[in-house]
Amino acid sequence: MIHDFLIIKDGLPLFVKHYISSNNAFTQGDNLIMVSGFFSALNSFSDSFDDLGTISELKLSNNELKLSFLKDRSIPNLIYLATYDENSNAVNVQRTLRKISRSFLMKFNINEILNWNGRRNTFNSFESILNQYIEEEKEEKESEFKDRVVKLIKTVEDKLNEESSLLALKSEVKKPDNLPEYCDQIPRFTSSMKVNPKNYLTGDSSFKIFYQINGKKTISDITEELNLEHKQVYNICKNLIKLGFIKLF
């Protein structure tokens, strides 16, 4: 959100509006002239070097606020400046500044701006127009936030629907009828000691079955995952029982 808005002319604050009460240089009247002079000089410095371009954004290390600049090309030394927090997008703030600059030049005569006598209340009538643009920027930010929330919800819904579809698909897959009783048995290790199956078993299928045993999968589950015969898995489990590694439950 935009916290402060300034229009600077020849290093002096021509128009100032604070939207959030905070203790910073932009809300302290005694500092406004120094702040305005500093940023005016900063922009003049960048204009002295064609390769540098115009300053459009600045971040001070001891302040959470960022600063966005817009220099008016039609009036010399006229700068629009806004401070904003992390909740606002820099692109949106720049777009708001461009809208404000156009409206300011439409409301006030160029000669009136060029011949400004230094009194800030000269342009106070611009405040109502400025408030409209600040409100638009706020609504735009809220709209972006809502869009992100909607996208997040949609992503979660899609994920849940995908998982539900997979569960439904699995539930539709029926196990063959008349399976041997041992297919529902669960092989579990009898010891927590790590065993290298290559020292006791032979064949890739034996190793794969060994590593599928986790105390939760049935013989039928292991058979389906490895695409093996039920009898083959059961026989390997019997060998592991003889070796004292597992039991069937």
Residue 142 is predicted with a pLDDT of 59
In this structure, are residues 186 and 165 in contact, taking their beta carbons and an 8 Å threshold? Answer: no
Task: Evaluate whether 66 touches 115 at the Cβ level (below 8 Å).
Answer: no
* Same fold across 2-145 and 181-248: no
Fold that domain 2-145 belongs to in CATH: Beta-Lactamase (3.30.450)
Instruction: Tell me how far apart the terminal alpha carbons of the chain are, to the nearest angstrom.
Output: 63
Which is nearest to 53 in space by CA: 71, 67, 36, 66? 71
pTM of the model: 0.50
Strand partners, 88: none
In 85-223, which ranges are E strands?
187-189
What is the CATH class of 181-248? mainly alpha
Q: Where are the domains of the chain?
A: 2-145, 181-248
Tens-digit pLDDT profile for the chain (249 aa)?
A: 788 888 888 888 888 888 876 565 565 655 666 777 777 777 666 665 555 556 667 776 666 778 888 888 888 888 898 888 887 778 888 888 898 999 999 999 889 899 988 887 889 999 998 988 888 877 766 556 556 666 777 777 777 777 776 666 655 555 566 788 889 999 999 877 788 888 888 888 888 999 999 999 999 999 988 888 989 999 999 888 988 888 998
Q: Which two tokens stand for residue 7?
A: 């229009």
Q: Where are the beta strands (DSSP E) in 129-239?
A: 187-189
Residue 56 confidence (pLDDT): 67
